[in-house]
A = this chain, B = another copy of it.
Amino acid sequence: MDVTTLSLTTLDLTNEDGLLLLRLNRPDALNSFTVAMAEELTRVFTEVNDDDTVRAVIVTGTGRAFCAGMALDVAGNVFGLDESVQPDWADLADLTDPALARVRDTGGMVTLAIYACRKPVIAAINGAAVGIGATMTLAMDARLVSTKARFGLVFGKLGISPEACSTWFLPRLVGTAKALDLIYSAEILDAEATVAIGLAARAYEPEELLTAARELANRWTRGRSAVSVALMRQQIYRNSGQPHPAAASRSETMAMYATSIGDGKEGVAAFLAKRPAEFAARASQMPAWYADWIAEFDARWGANTPVE
């Protein structure tokens, strides 16, 4: 799988020596979000798991914006929802039910694909990130901002409500009190403010942003085992949400066992010999238990009602 061969109309992909630079690519429309972009982002964050040439993903925008949110000047329901469906709560039991296709929050499709991704994902926010342009970055592992970045969780001003699983991701990044203040206030933050509140790691000059993102991505993944990185990412996100640490001990036991008979052997040998490690395991071929763990986790915790 070479993810850069995907046929895409709203995104531009470049594999830069193992770092996938993903550009939101509708510069004439400030990279505003569309249903097509949602589907393409979901596809890329899913397919990239099977492209072993990619170590990490960097998301940025073409031109002066990162992503200006949903295009609000379209005809009909501006969020692309089918107003005739009128779902009730019971209909939501299975989010993947095709009957929900025209109803479902498309931002949530994207962030759930990022959640399930086996590669680190870095947002390089080069300009305005508003609405879904802001919330999609909350599911990424770091947010670097240029001094020209703007970050707006503006839902309240439009009479709508936050999406893209942001009511799950945001409080985990900044705590409940700051999350409420950001969401209620609905103000557009400048780069400094995103750093001050803990949303972004650091602000950079515009011309330094991508360099900084590449350096971070390399620091995280160069010379690493792709399976080790995937297990670390999935365990931090999933186990931190479990009510009990014993549940974490299960996946950690399996992950430690799998790597101790896999890339860990090379890692320890290289460490003892004081030479760089050469890891062989591939994230496209996770150990067998991995799929069982993820499937059980999604079924138990991702459903509306407990699985019997």
Contacts and interface: CB of A to CB of B under 8 A. Distances in A.
Interface of A: 72-73, 77-79, 81, 83, 87-90, 92, 95, 100, 103-105, 108, 111-112, 115, 120, 139, 141-143, 155-177, 179-181, 183-185, 198, 201, 219-221, 223-225, 228-229, 231-233, 235-257, 259-268, 271-272, 277, 279, 281, 288-289, 292-293, 296-298, 300-308
Contact of A176 (B173, B279, B281): B173
B167 A235 contact: yes
25 contacts: A78-B264, A79-B260, A81-B257, A81-B260, A87-B253, A87-B289, A95-B253, A103-B257, A108-B248, A108-B252, A156-B225, A158-B264, A159-B225, A159-B267, A160-B260, A165-B249, A167-B232, A167-B235, A168-B242, A168-B247, A171-B240, A176-B236, A176-B237, A179-B240, A241-B242
Given A172-B176, A229-B156, A232-B161, A111 B245 contact: yes
A253 B157 CA distance: 18
Given A243-B243, A296-B304, A306-B306, A248 B168 contact: yes
A300 B247 CA distance: 11
Copy total for this chain: 3
Contacts of A267: 157-160
Instruction: Name, among A173, A181, A185, A243, the residue most crowded by chain B CB atoms within 10 Å (CB to CB).
Output: A243
Q: Interface of chain A, helix or strand or loop or mixed?
A: helix
Chain A to chain B: the 8 pairs with minimum beta-carbon distance, closest first:
A159-B267, A159-B263, A246-B302, A108-B249, A158-B267, A244-B301, A171-B240, A184-B220
Contacts of A184: 120, 141, 219-221, 229, 232-233
Given A176-B173, A236-B171, A306 B301 contact: no
